[in-house]
Structure 1
Amino acid sequence: MSEKLVWRVEGMDCAGCVASLTRALEKMPGISGIEVNLMAERLTASLSTARPEEVERQVAALGFTATPLATAAAPDEHQGHSHHGHDDPAEAEKPWWATGKAKLTWLLGGLVGAATLLSLVLPERLTDPLFVTATAVALIPFGRRALALAHMGSPFSIETLMCTAAIGAVLIGAAEEAAVVVLLFALGEMLETIAAGRARAGIRALAALMPRTALRVTAAGGTEEVPAARLAVGDLVLVRPGDRVACDGTIEEGRSALDESPVTGESVPVARGPGETVRAGSINAEGALRLRVTHAASDNTIARIIRMVEEASASRAPTQRFIERFSAWWTPGAMIVALLVILATPPLLGWDWATSLYRGLAVLLIACPCALVISVPAAMASGLSAGARRGLLVKGGAALEAIGAACHIAFDKTGTLTEGRPRVTDLIPAEGRSEDELVALAAAVEQGSAHPLARAILAEAGRRGLSLPPARGFSATPGKAVQAVVAGRVVMVGSPRHAPVSGPLAATLERLEGEGKTVSVALIGNAPLGLIALRDEPRADAAAGMAALAALGVRPVMLTGDNARTGAAIAARLGLEAKAELLPEDKLREIAALRALGPVAMVGDGINDAPALAAASVGIAMGGGTDVALETADAAVLKDRVTGVAELVALSRATMANVKQNMAVAVGLKGAFLLTTLAGITGLWPAILADTGATVLVTLNALRLLRWKP
């Protein structure tokens, strides 16, 4: 029997830390399912025979601090805690200048600075011991970590390279350079900590959207202030004008305009009334509302967004996986090259042994793969955070990379390109039938269905004040028809392709479809009962969304179960290609055909589109069905706007451009310094600067993405 445990791990600041910690723990017996999340500072593992203290000792040996949190297996036991409730970020985060890495940097800076000043007035033999002392002070923590990593199966760590070079420099009499090398390395580590903290601040800003308290309505009708984390499903909550909403819920009473921009990025306040859903983190702009809580604090919109961003930051993009595999070979390869520089250049190029040893050590420092390894995850984490702030959620680096590469984007029509609220526009009863009879019988058959067209027919019956006759024996064929027995006769409502009509009704049907309307045919027995025409208006920004995608060089395609004439009429208004009369399995075939031409994204409302979303290279859900959308798709547009899809493509491309810039900086700087080192132009400390400098540049470049705007 294994127990799943979670720890908060402090001190991780780059992908290298994650890799070394993961490898070290994998070597331990009795531990499995190891997940290390850099952005969330979380370690999750299942322990069978290993004890928690052993895990904490192993983590400490690598220079990190592990603090146990709640048991991952039992979320309900701490119902009152959100995913973040266990450790207040404000308490957990020390200011960067007070961290252990910063203190080491200040100490080394002081020692190297003092030694440098004294070297101006004292002879070298008196100041060299000061430089050696500074080097030794740094080598204690770095050396301990290098030994721990070597013991745990990672002999070629950056710490090993740096310690080897520093000790080698002291031995060949370059104590001053050895001290500068360890100081620059410590400085680089400190800057990585600051950068990682900046990226995490993006996620903490989301957590800060949740108010600490809420006004719960008591049984007596009054209100009591309770911690927001203690709200349970079914509680009634009062939200006053100006309050931030503390829960996901539905409005029981009141009307107001809600500013949802903190959650969805949608700048215009949205009017909401009884029966409508409200998201945690929104701001109530006008009237007082009474909300019925629909999700516990640990599962509301904000908590799920935070969880998604954290999990997304932990999942690796294909480019990142390649870089990690490459760096596993790069470091041992670089050590062999350094050894060749030391051993082969004296006989081949006539260098003296001191020169070959010095330059070989410099090559060793240039070989540190830190900047290259961090180039991808730093950009990905910033891109994911920037998107989340603007209501664009992506479930990981792989999805973020795939969205920008898509050649085609397929859109479901109903609820995605259109409002998803069709209404009846025309009623054409067959000869001898009335409009009321047509609506009453069709509504009786449709009352078991949740399809948007069924809801529209039921709404029309409600508007006319019709009482529906009893129906039994309901059956449905998805995409074709529904039928039931009403007053002893079989009544069917279906698409014209599966319930054909002839004569005057057929001519009317053609005219209505030409106007971009969806027509349902009602039959009683086998005789026509009449036609019901419905129209679902395109979203206000659908045409702009298609134009934005076309401008990015992406081809949008509409996939719809609707008839070809209606599909063509709507597609012409929006400016995209239409594939109509598709059953669910036909949509899968269309996606497969598009995939043969290149990567394809599918956009749907996440409910009936789940198979197509899964079949595409990347599935994007519109935020209308947030619950289902967040679960089924690889990405979600929370603001319910079609233009959000083009924004996702732009975000993906901006992130991948940042990744390429980072890789160019990391490899370019190293290449340049490798040449200058072998030519004898630069020495040891510029070599470590090539790595530290590249790491800092790469990280700062990645942080620029946090300011990304569509």
Structure 2
Amino acid sequence: MPHDGAKNAHDHPPSDDDACGSCGSGNVAQLAQADAIEGRSFHVSGLDCAEEVSILNRVVGPEVGGREYLAFDVINARMTVLDGGTNPSSDKIIDIVATTGMTAKPWDAEDASADQAAHLKKQKLFTMLSGSFWAAGFAFHLIETGIAGAIGIFSGHGESAMPMVEVALFATAILFGVWLVAPKAWSSARRFSPDMNLLMVVAVAGAIGLGEFFEAATVAFFFSLSLYLESWSVGRARNAVSALLDLAPPTARVLYDDGSEADVPAAAVAVGARFIVRGGDRIPLDGEVVDGAGAVDQAPITGESALVPKETGDDVYAGTINGEGTLTVRATKAASDTVLSKIIRMVGDAHSRRAEVEQWVAKFARIYTPVVMVLAILIALVPPLVVGGDWGFWFYNALVLLVIACPCALVISTPVSIVASLAASARNGVLIKGGAYVEAPGRTTALAMDKTGTITMGEPEVAAIYPLGGITERDLMARAIALEARSSHPLAHAILARAEQDGMQITAADETRTVPGRGLEGELDGQSIWLGSDRFAEEKGLGGDIPTDLRDRIEGAGST
């Protein structure tokens, strides 16, 4: 402020240890050092939930040295064979996966995305066809028998035979409903390892054997619908993760040694190359500022709510936004190795870190499913053989048990809930490393968090004014307003907002100049004025003009 010693506690801090955010620079370093999963990856068509993971663990695991050498990313339908096992050829692994009713091929991110979309589209088509023919069969029965007959279909046709048209419609609904499930069920039967797919197909086949085509079509359609909804929910999670890719621009404005500039794909920019980032642009690559000064919004990476001033020698991250000033940045990492890329890979791999409840449910289902199968067989055989019960009645009850006791909902509910929480968090800027960490807050006894932007709004405001050296509050504010009139710094917004609140006229100072990491200086009515940090005051020779007790009181209140 004026050289009479008055000073406003307004600081444009440099991006050093004082910088704050929901994640600090230490967290970024941890991400940069995160180990990638090493091994061969395969895209597995049909890998939608924990049930398929369990199947692949049982079938592929022994061939690669044990299930500990397998890692799964259900969100992206990816299976990774980790290094260190028996190392079978890729062709052999693909053949082994084929025996499960699923298909595999070497991982390619672009092809995998297209394959996943095609698989979901195919599931949707078959589910819609199954539902359409089921509805057509029910509508035919309604037309033929009226409302009373339509209600009666739930208890069968009695002694009368089902019309062939109705049989054909329900049979077609069954065909489309089990088309994608049947290969997995057959694989399960051949391995004598019953799973939910086998339970459903057996229930459908049993209902057909009893002539209950409506019941068979209903089970086939709703099971197909449940699998489609599961794939759809996983697809939504995948889209949320993919949206993170949009944080970084696809091109960089590269500055060549001869001074010319050109837009180049970010993936083609070499480490050490220089690129230009204008005000308002997203930064395409991790790098170090070599020229210029500005303030960067790092919230997408570090969670900091306020702009972070940047000057020569400071690091910047891909996906962050340059708020003001033009920066020349030297790329320090390739596009595939930036902090943002590591975050995206981390979120993509998160589902492989399964929560305890997921692991428990998977183990429970492995025991539960065979037990249900045995109980169904006992219900179908024991009463007729031991007490002479009706075979049709008890066989029907055994099928009812298979449908009711199917662990599909139990097995699907937990991973889908975990994936939904990961996806919802990612959409809101919270990145969770896996299902195991979703459960962790339930055991939390203490929580440490950053203040700014976390338990506060992250929007500075003028809390108090302390004029010194005989100057009035209004004169002090007028000079601060003059310096900040054309600034876009968050603290400038706070000062200008206070000016509007107090009804003060905003008049810009002359010859204003930003001093990076210090503050502002300029001229007003022919007088030199400045505004900035304690360090700036020390450099002006006015560091001792602020009373110690006042400084302590301001800092104790948590003010800047």
TM over 0.5: yes
User: Does structure 1 retain, via aligned residues, the 8 Å contact 2:286–2:333?
Assistant: yes
Say yes or no: does 1:195 pair with 2:230.
no
Give 1:410 deviation, angstroms: 7.6
The letter for the 2-side match of 1:209 is L
Change (3 A) 1:31 1:406: closer
- Where does residue 34 of structure 2 map in the other structure? none
- Where does residue 422 of structure 1 map in the other structure? none
- Where does residue 34 of structure 1 map in the other structure? 70
| Secondary structure of the structure 2 residue equivalent to 1:87 | helix
Say yes or no: does 1:108 pair with 2:127.
no
- Where does residue 145 of structure 1 map in the other structure? 184
- Where does residue 522 of structure 1 map in the other structure? none
Change (3 A) 1:405 1:516: farther
Say yes or no: does 1:260 pair with 2:283.
no
Give the whole-Å Cα distance in 2 for the aligned partners of 1:202 and 1:347: 56
- Where does residue 438 of structure 2 map in the other structure? 400
User: Does structure 2 retain, via aligned residues, the 8 Å contact 1:245–1:280?
Assistant: yes
Candidates 339, 356, 379, aligned match of 2:417: 379
User: Does structure 2 retain, via aligned residues, the 8 Å contact 1:248–1:280?
Assistant: yes
User: Does structure 2 retain, via aligned residues, the 8 Å contact 1:210–1:280?
Assistant: yes
Structure with the higher strand share, 1 or 2: 1
1:72-471 equivalences under 5 Å are: 86-87=109-110, 91=114, 94=117, 99-119=121-141, 120-121=143-144, 124-126=162-164, 127-151=166-190, 153=191, 155-344=193-382, 352-408=390-446
- Where does residue 10 of structure 1 map in the other structure? 45
Percent of matched pairs sharing the same residue: 35
Show CA shifts across 1:520-567 (max 9, x none).
xxxxxxxxxxxxxxxxx799599xxxxxxxxxxxxxxxxxxxxxxxxx
Report the TM-score when normalising by structure 1. 0.52
Give the whole-Å Cα distance in 2 for the aligned partners of 1:65 and 1:146: 15
1:518-557 equivalences under 5 Å are: none
Change (3 A) 1:154 1:346: closer
Change (3 A) 1:387 1:187: closer
- Where does residue 54 of structure 1 map in the other structure? 92
Show CA shifts across 1:264-291 (max 9, x none).
4444433322222212111222211111
User: Does structure 1 retain, via aligned residues, the 8 Å contact 2:280–2:323?
Assistant: yes
1:491-502 equivalences under 5 Å are: none
| Secondary structure of the structure 1 residue equivalent to 2:374 | helix
Give the whole-Å Cα distance in 2 for the aligned partners of 1:91 and 1:135: 28
Change (3 A) 1:337 1:113: same
User: Does structure 2 retain, via aligned residues, the 8 Å contact 1:89–1:204?
Assistant: no
User: Does structure 2 retain, via aligned residues, the 8 Å contact 1:236–1:293?
Assistant: yes
The letter for the 2-side match of 1:107 is L
User: Does structure 1 retain, via aligned residues, the 8 Å contact 2:296–2:307?
Assistant: yes
Show CA shifts across 1:336-380 (max 9, x none).
332343345568999633222212211111222122123332222
Candidates 76, 80, 101, aligned match of 1:44: 80
| Secondary structure of the structure 1 residue equivalent to 2:63 | coil
User: Does structure 2 retain, via aligned residues, the 8 Å contact 1:245–1:283?
Assistant: yes
Give 1:249 deviation, angstroms: 1.5
The letter for the 1-side match of 2:171 is V
Which segment drifts farther, 397-406 or 191-200? Answer: 397-406
Give 1:178 deviation, angstroms: 0.6
Change (3 A) 1:271 1:385: farther
Please, which runs of 5 or more residues in structure 2 have no aligned partner?
Answer: 1-37, 146-160, 451-534, 540-547
Give the whole-Å Cα distance in 2 for the aligned partners of 1:167 and 1:247: 57
User: Does structure 2 retain, via aligned residues, the 8 Å contact 1:247–1:297?
Assistant: yes
Show CA shifts across 1:612-636 (max 9, x none).
xxxxxxxxxxxxxxxxxxxxxxxxx
| Secondary structure of the structure 2 residue equivalent to 1:211 | coil
Show CA shifts across 1:36-88 (max 9, x none).
21123222115856332232233344444433236xxxxxxxxxxxxxxx427
- Where does residue 475 of structure 1 map in the other structure? none
Give the whole-Å Cα distance in 2 for the aligned partners of 1:92 and 1:286: 42
The letter for the 1-side match of 2:127 is T
User: Does structure 2 retain, via aligned residues, the 8 Å contact 1:146–1:159?
Assistant: yes
Change (3 A) 1:189 1:90: closer
| Secondary structure of the structure 1 residue equivalent to 2:110 | coil
Show CA shifts across 1:644-698 (max 9, x none).
xxxxxxxxxxxxxxxxxxxxxxxxxxxxxxxxxxxxxxxxxxxxxxxxxxxxxxx
Show CA shifts across 1:442-481 (max 9, x none).
xxxxxxxxxxxxxxxxxx9xx99xxxxxxxxxxxxxxxxx
Change (3 A) 1:144 1:8: closer
Change (3 A) 1:371 1:104: same
Give the whole-Å Cα distance in 2 for the aligned partners of 1:99 and 1:118: 28
Give the whole-Å Cα distance in 2 for the aligned partners of 1:345 and 1:197: 46
| Secondary structure of the structure 2 residue equivalent to 1:188 | helix
Give the whole-Å Cα distance in 2 for the aligned partners of 1:516 and 1:342: 85
The letter for the 2-side match of 1:25 is V
Show CA shifts across 1:549-608 (max 9, x none).
xxxxxxxxxxxxxxxxxxxxxxxxxxxxxxxxxxxxxxxxxxxxxxxxxxxxxxxxxxxx
Candidates 45, 54, 64, aligned match of 1:19: 54
The letter for the 1-side match of 2:422 is L
- How many matched pairs? 414
Change (3 A) 1:251 1:326: same
Give the whole-Å Cα distance in 2 for the aligned partners of 1:255 and 1:346: 87
User: Does structure 1 retain, via aligned residues, the 8 Å contact 2:347–2:432?
Assistant: yes
Give the whole-Å Cα distance in 1 for the aligned partners of 2:205 and 2:104: 30
Change (3 A) 1:132 1:88: closer
Change (3 A) 1:258 1:351: farther
Give 1:386 deviation, angstroms: 3.6
Which segment drifts farther, 328-337 or 51-60? Answer: 51-60
The letter for the 1-side match of 2:131 is G
Change (3 A) 1:55 1:538: farther
The letter for the 2-side match of 1:43 is M
Change (3 A) 1:410 1:102: closer
Change (3 A) 1:264 1:201: farther
Change (3 A) 1:350 1:258: farther
Give 1:245 deviation, angstroms: 0.8
| Secondary structure of the structure 2 residue equivalent to 1:238 | strand
CA RMSD across the alignment: 3.9
Please, which runs of 5 or more residues in structure 1 have no aligned partner?
Answer: 71-85, 413-459, 465-511, 518-536, 543-710
